[in-house]
Amino acid sequence: MKRFSQRNALVTLSEINITPLLDLAFVLLIIFIITRPLLEQNIDLKLPENMGGPDTRTIDRRNIRVVEITARGDYWLQGRHLSFAQVDADLAAVSEHNRKLIVDIRADKRTEWEHVITVINACNRHHITISVRTAPIGHP
């Protein structure tokens, strides 16, 4: 029989097992995929129905800013509750650096039009393209 020497017992492992690291990475990826849509739709709005056809353009999402207007007339920009003056200042600052900026306006159908029109006028003042979000036909 061969005797084990102390030299062989002290040899360290030179390879790292990355299987647990990959498992963690996949779990985090799945969590982010699931939570992303939940973070984007953070305000309960009842959008008017879309009377036109589907939009087939491809747009870079980095050029889009979402302005949401609640039924009470509260303004939300990119998920942050702001006053209209803050929304206007933020859009002006972003439009100076990004001429391809698109403002996606999502207004509750119970919102007074003066709130929507103030955002549209601000976008026109800063030469920003406007997109108005509606719900699909038949969607509550």
**CA gap 129, 42 in Å, rounded:** 23
Other Cβ atoms less than 10 A from the Cβ of 59: the count is 13
Residues in the chain: 140
109 part of a folded domain: yes
Number of domains in the chain: 1
Query: Under a CB-based contact definition with an 8 Å cutoff, are residues 116 and 105 in contact?
Result: yes
Domain membership of residue 69 as a residue range: 61-132
**What is the Cα 92 distance to its own chain's centre?**
20
Which uninterrupted H or E stretch holds 73? none
126 part of a folded domain: yes
**CA gap 23, 37 in Å, rounded:** 23
Q: Is 128 helix (H, G, I), strand (E, B) or coil?
A: coil
14 part of a folded domain: no
Other Cβ atoms less than 10 A from the Cβ of 138: the count is 7
Q: What is the pLDDT of residue 121?
A: 93
pLDDT band at residue 131 using 50, 70 and 90 as cut-offs:
confident
pLDDT (tens digit per residue) in 17-41: 888 889 999 999 998 888 776 666 5
Q: Is 54 helix (H, G, I), strand (E, B) or coil?
A: coil
8 part of a folded domain: no
**What is the Cα 90 distance to its own chain's centre?**
16
15 part of a folded domain: no
Alpha-carbon dihedral sign for residues 133, 107, 123, 92 = negative
CATH of the domain at 108: 3.30.420.270
pTM beyond 0.85: the answer is no
pLDDT (tens digit per residue) in 83-122: 999 999 999 999 998 888 999 998 888 888 899 999 999 9
1 part of a folded domain: no
33 part of a folded domain: no
